[in-house]
Chains A and B, each alone.
Chain A
Amino acid sequence: MKKLLTRHETYVFLAIIIFSAIITSVNPSFLTLENLFDLLKSYSIQGIFAVGVLFVLISGGIDISFTAIATVAAYVMTVVSINYGGNILTAFLIASVVGIALGMINAVVIYFFNIPSIITTIATMNIFYGILTVLSGGKWIYALPTWFREFADINVFTLTNAQGIEYGLSIITVIWLAIAIVAWVILRYTILGRGIYAIGGSMPSAHRAGFNVFKLQMFVYSFMGLMAGIGGVVQVLIVQTMAPNSMVGKELDVIAAVVLGGASLAGGAGTLVGAILGVAMIAMMSNGLTMMRVSSFWYNVFIGLTIIISVGVSAYRRKKRQKTAIAVEVE
């Protein structure tokens, strides 16, 4: 219990419960299964991206290029699917391969040229997105194959609400949850996961402890690429359009959500539960504001305040802890 109280995730969770209570008291339809399923589906893109971002942040890096990777992967997937046919598995496979390949480029540049990850990925973001826009002419694609369109509407199970309208748990949500579980297992129960925390905590120590830093970084950035690829396909599934300019520019929002969940930008810290709670917090706020009939113009003001207050409180607590620690040392 005591351990639970010191954890950042607990506070995020409490904040979510308090906010939901407030929103529900204003509009009871917030806390319904139907709205929950809707939210889970529409935020699965951010959720999938967040898993990848979490891995990169834990390893002590940062990736700004994932929205560009997602756009490239989704675009290649769309063009190949339209021209050569295929099915939903090949669609995900193509996007994953493209995503992993681009992620590997990031890893190679970061490791071999020793360029900070933020700078590498700012550069590669512009390179990936720039080249894609030039080659594609920035055109939107609407004519998606039928099998692709239909996949987005599959529900794992269906329920009927009081008005007789059917709703259910989307297969897209299930994909997201499956990814989250795999990621959770990797981080918690494998040597690979330990290694990612280790290089994030201290790269030289991890190296001396026998971890292969290059392989671990390669894994982390490829994994981010994989998540970007899958997230890109999910984006196309949800909006039913391949719009090259729909994702780039949203990268900082996802990073903000993950950080809200307690991941540290200095590396070595962060949990999957935290990342998911962070995304849930952002999802709940934007949806809740709409439900409370607050104009959507206010959305960013609230998100900004939430981030400042949340990271401010944890930073302030850390600062105080450090002060007391020093005092004890002196005595």
Chain B
Amino acid sequence: MYRKHSETIILGLVMVGVFLLLWALNGGDFVHIGNFQSMAFQLPELGILSLAMMVTMLTSGINLSIIASANLSGIIAAFILTTYISPEATGARTGLIVLVAIGAALLVSALIGLLNGFLIASVGISPILATLGTMILVNGLSIVLTKGYVISGLPDPIPFIGNGLVLGIPMPMIIFILCAASMALVLNHTPLGVNVYMLGSNPTACRFAGVNNPSVLLRTYLISGVYAGIAAIIMISRFNSAKADYGESYLLLTVLASVLGGISAAGGFGRVSGLVIALVILQMVSSGLNLLRVSNFLTIAIWGMILILVMAVNTMIARYQDRRRTA
């Protein structure tokens, strides 16, 4: 029991340490309400994409196609929005088209998720290869559709999703909290969640326990795809545009965030709460260093160092505990 929570405790300590360090370095600017708000605007994109990555990593898989799916979904939504909404359109009609666009984005990402699930569960391709293939394919489709251009100038209600405030809380943050909560609900309180963890720990044992492995995998990648679609909507509204290669650097960062959050790359272990703490740490480092006018690239280098540090400390603790048990 202690061991299960020790990683969360370490992460929590790192979070507090990082917070105090950045507070000391930045002074009052860091604990200013405006800084918290801007952090809450920036975190959700990477956060929702990391949730999409995390659920596949729990089954000992990976989903390299999340960014490509998000971009294609965003492009489809942007196409619908820019084509069918005219300035003189009435409110009700606009609202309907916005809903259709969001629905289309989610549908596209769900279809890509199903394709991934089919390739992995039914054809038997390893997740990293299947999603590498769909990543390149889906990115190709985005390029063909947009000819490499940006689709910009999205009509009014869309920017609100990415930039609006509700009771002082940024809209993307509300969406992120809903996403994280429903992911936690699915993982901890539904049969699917139990099966996801079981499949990740030992697929053979899982199969002999009577679980339909292909079906679990299919649904896992479907969920992952839909989350990429939700991220797409936030992305297009924050950029107020869509393009084939937005956010490509996020891909490996989602793996970084997940692993930092205690999600085992070998599958079977990891909690949403750990991922959320990891995201908060990464965001605090990013915002804090930004206030200090440190280059973004150095921030990402520091993220890498934090990851190796946390992983190394976890390994050391595990070794120490093993030694004590045998002694």
Contacts and interface: CB of A to CB of B under 8 A. Distances in A.
A300 B255 contact: no
A315 interface: yes
A96 interface: no
Interface residues of B, number: 48
B140 A130 contact: no
B69 to A, nearest CB: 13
A175 B260 CA distance: 41
B111 to A, nearest CB: 15
B210 to A, nearest CB: 18
B304 A124 contact: yes
A304 B133 contact: yes
A297 B256 contact: no
Contact of A304 (B124, B137, B299, B312): B137
A115 B312 contact: yes
A252 B64 contact: yes
B127 to A, nearest CB: 10
B129 A119 contact: no
B315 interface: yes
Nearest to A296: B143
Contacts of B148: 297
Given A118-B265, A134-B298, A300-B136, A316 B124 contact: yes
A330 interface: no
Interface string B275-319: 000000000000000000001011111111101100110011000
A187 B311 CA distance: 32
B178 interface: no
Nearest to A300: B140
B123 A127 contact: no
A115 B308 contact: yes
Given A265-B128, A307-B132, A315-B125, A300 B265 contact: no
Contacts of B139: 300, 304
A113 B138 CA distance: 36
Contacts of A318: 124
A304 B140 contact: yes
A131 B315 CA distance: 26
B22 interface: no
Interface in A179-227: none
Interface string B136-154: 1111110110011000000
Contacts of A28: none
Contacts of B266: 116
Contacts, number: 147
A178 interface: no
How big is the A interface, by class? 35 or more
A134 B123 contact: no
A289 to B, nearest CB: 11
B141 A131 contact: no
Given A116-B266, A297-B148, A300-B140, A315 B123 contact: yes
B136 to A, nearest CB: 4
Given A113-B308, A249-B248, A134 B265 contact: no
Interface in B252-275: 252-253, 255-256, 259, 265-266
A301 interface: yes
B136 A304 contact: yes
A119 B165 CA distance: 36
Nearest to B266: A116
A312 to B, nearest CB: 5
A227 B144 CA distance: 34
B179 interface: no
Nearest to B256: A122
Nearest to A120: B308
Nearest to A322: B124
A156 interface: no
A319 B300 contact: no
A304 B303 contact: no
Given A134-B295, A266-B126, A127 B301 contact: yes
B54 interface: no
A307 B129 contact: yes
Nearest to B125: A315
Nearest to B301: A130
B64 A130 contact: no
A319 B120 CA distance: 12
A127 B305 contact: yes
B252 A308 contact: no
A255 interface: yes
Contacts of B137: 300-301, 303-305, 307-308
17 contacts: A113-B308, A113-B311, A119-B265, A122-B304, A123-B304, A125-B252, A126-B252, A129-B297, A130-B301, A134-B297, A253-B136, A297-B147, A300-B137, A304-B136, A311-B129, A316-B124, A319-B123
Interface of A: 64, 109, 113-116, 118-120, 122-131, 133-134, 138, 249, 252-253, 255-256, 259, 265-266, 297-305, 307-308, 311-312, 315-316, 318-319
Top 10 A-B pairs, shortest CB-CB distance: A304-B137, A130-B301, A300-B140, A301-B140, A304-B136, A126-B304, A308-B133, A123-B304, A133-B297, A307-B133
Interface of B: 64, 119, 123-126, 128-130, 132-141, 143-144, 147-148, 248-249, 252-253, 255-256, 259, 265-266, 295, 297-305, 307-308, 311-312, 315-316
